[in-house]
Amino acid sequence: MKKQIIRRSKMAIEYLPSTIPESIRQIYASRGVESAQQLELKVSNLQGLSLQKYSSDNSLKGLDEACPLLHAALINKTNICIVGDFDADGATSTALMMVALTLMGSHNHTFLVPNRFEYGYGLTPEIVELAAEKGAQMLVTVDNGISCVAGVNRAKELGLQVIVTDHHLPGLELPKADAIVNPNQVGCPFPSKSLAGVGVAFYLMLTLRSYLRDKNYFIEHNISEPNIAQLLDLVALGTVADVVSLDVNNRILVEQGLKRIRAGQTRPGIQALIEVAKKNQQRLVASDFGFALGPRINAAGRLDDMSYGINCLLAPDIASARIMASELDDLNKARREIEQGMQSEAETIFQQLKFSEDNLPNAIALYHQDWHQGVIGIVAGRLKEKFHRPCIVFAKGNEEDLLDSEQQEIKGSARSIPGLHIRDLLEHIDSQHPNLILKFGGHAMAAGLSIKRSNFDKFQLLFNELAGKWLKAEDLQSIILSDGELALNDLTLTFAEQLREAGPWGQNFPEPIFDDTFSLVQQRIVGEKHLKLLVEKQGEVFDAIAFNIDIKAWPNANAKKVHLAYRLDINEFRGKRTVQLMVDTMTVADL
């Protein structure tokens, strides 16, 4: 879909430090930075936190119940089972809890992650029974649990204690857990509602350390008080990979994690993932978590068993970590091949429905019985990006033993666009059409659901109809917000470095995009569908690259000038570092 470039309005910048280049101050101001303090990304500025005492007035609700329970579990050597989720946030959350509990003196804790193909998402009754069979006495969920009413009920029937830690939006009924820690539950005073699951787990462990200190636990048990900051590499990775909003609080968590990794203070598993992704550890940026490390961890949960990803993060040494990271890399390559095939099939189905970029529905819902359940979320995201429409992609569920295929359960993964809260939309459909949706959960931009195959056509119509009512016309226009034209003296390696250091950039705190018209010096296809360019401005020539270009339109022998929307990046090749323009969209400027 053609993207419209709109330049951001100029903002007042006098309140930001004059030591920062003016253009970067303007970028900060346009992203809502209102004071110099918001740029001080120090641990001491984290919200809802007291580093010296157990609790503060705006702590996460539920910590007062969870910490005494965990204290008693440590004293009594209770068998604790961490129940995670099968994505990168769930993997980092699980690894964080495993490491932290060991640092607190526990030797009686394990983890369990539901295999998405056997059990589905979250703390289901079946997972509870499996954990109980393995001897669990206390269950601690990470990145899930807030919607697992039946699972928690089963745990209580079996006499297990349950602590739910989650960040997803709660439904009308909360599970009857012994403690619930979730910034989005009603009555939680914690200011930042955008914590990832790994962020919630980090706060719990940080607060537990303070609680144990107040109880003289470390002294009485001759345990060195742990430095919880060593977990920030996991927090940074999970936070960015889960695409949560990078508000000030999350930017602190990500920045502090990046600093530790760049300084070599990271666990072998993350180091090995950086190596296999061919990234420079000393120059790692937040986007590397989302586009390089996170997908390799996610590949384990999408195609096989997330335990592979978690065990890589928990690897005791670099040698074993490299073996596991290599296996994850192979899984990620397989995932890409599956995804490309599904993407092509999805676009064919879309065309068969008589839709085109000039005739788009309000929302897209597609199903194919042969699609891979673990990859539908990625395909939904790709379609959402291409057509700028909320999208749900369905695949066959796990009830292959049912003879009537129409009664089989199909599972959908949803991705949305700004202007449409996808979980709220699913909740509205569920309230107006009971029993149409079997189960659902998620947040504003991503969600999951299950329906009967026989109900797909009805759901498809309702989804499109309701999206049309909830979305405004301007919401359906794909827009690039540009930070304007860069002066020639800013198209430099020095300024590109300053932009990198000005981050971390991410969801709702986007990396700067600039736009300008350049003379086209050279253009050629590299790989299968990437366009390598040389462009010129005022006598200076720059490298540029546009990924996944429309090969029917480019190269264009008639183009002499092009208008580019781009990110300023640094290309490193054989030890040489040069400025490179990463093209988001391009149009011919002289025809």
CB atoms within 10 A of CB 359: 8
Q: What is the pLDDT of residue 54?
A: 65
Question: Which one, of 112, 99, 101, 91, lies nearest residue 289 by Cα?
Answer: 91
Percent helix / strand / coil, the chain, rounded to 5: 40, 20, 40
CB atoms within 10 A of CB 385: 15
Residue 523 has pLDDT above 90, yes or no: yes
Range of weakest confidence among 110-119, 127-136, 581-590: 110-119
Domain 480-588 has CATH 3.60.110.10: no
Could you identify the residue written with the tokens 């085109």? 356
Specify the higher pLDDT residue, 492 or 56. 492
Q: Per residue in 465-485, pLDDT tens? A: 999 999 999 999 999 999 999
**Phi, psi of 227, rounded to the nearest 5 degrees:** -90, 105
Q: What is the pLDDT of residue 115?
A: 78
**CATH level 3 topology of 54-328:** inorganic pyrophosphatase (n-terminal core) (3.90.1640)
Residue 407 has pLDDT above 90, yes or no: no
Residue 405 has pLDDT above 70, yes or no: no
Q: What is the pLDDT of residue 52?
A: 58
In contact, 518 and 531? CB cutoff 8 Å: no
CA dihedral 234, 238, 244, 246 (to 10 degrees): 30
What's the per-residue H, E or C state across 281-314? Answer: HHHCCHHHHHHHHHHHHHHHHHHCCCHHHHHHHC
Q: What is the pLDDT of residue 399?
A: 60
| 587: β partners | 563
Q: Per residue in 339-380, pLDDT tens? A: 999 999 998 888 888 777 778 999 999 999 999 999 999 999
Distances from the Cα of 499 to the Cα of 2, 18, 23, 569, 583, angstroms: 27, 16, 10, 9, 17
Residue 159 has pLDDT above 90, yes or no: yes
- Order of strands across the sheet that contains 161-165: 109-112, 80-83, 138-142, 161-165, 179-181
Question: Which one, of 273, 208, 206, 263, lies nearest residue 237 by Cα?
Answer: 273
In contact, 466 and 428? CB cutoff 8 Å: yes
**DSSP-assigned letter for residue 86:** S
* pTM, rounded to two decimals: 0.92
Domain 353-476 has CATH 3.10.310.30: yes
Query: Long-range CB contacts (< 8 A, 24+ apart) of 344-352?
Result: 345/371, 346/379, 346/383, 346/393, 347/383, 350/383
pLDDT confidence bin for 581, thresholds 50/70/90: very high
What's the per-residue H, E or C state across 369-434? Answer: CCCCCCCHHHHHHHHHHHHCCCEEEEEECCCCCCCCHHHCEEEEEEECCCCCCHHHHHHHHHHHCC
Q: What is the pLDDT of residue 305?
A: 87
Q: How far is residue 495 CA from its own chain's centroid?
A: 28
Q: Per residue in 294-333, pLDDT tens? A: 999 999 988 888 999 999 999 999 999 999 999 999 999 9
SS3 11: coil
In contact, 396 and 369? CB cutoff 8 Å: yes
Q: At 546, which helix (H) or strand (E)?
A: strand 540-546
Q: How far is residue 304 CA from its own chain's centroid?
A: 19
Q: Domain residue spans in the chain? A: 54-328, 353-476, 480-588
pLDDT confidence bin for 171, thresholds 50/70/90: confident
CA distance 529 to 540: 26
Mean pLDDT for the chain?
93
Q: What is the pLDDT of residue 552?
A: 87
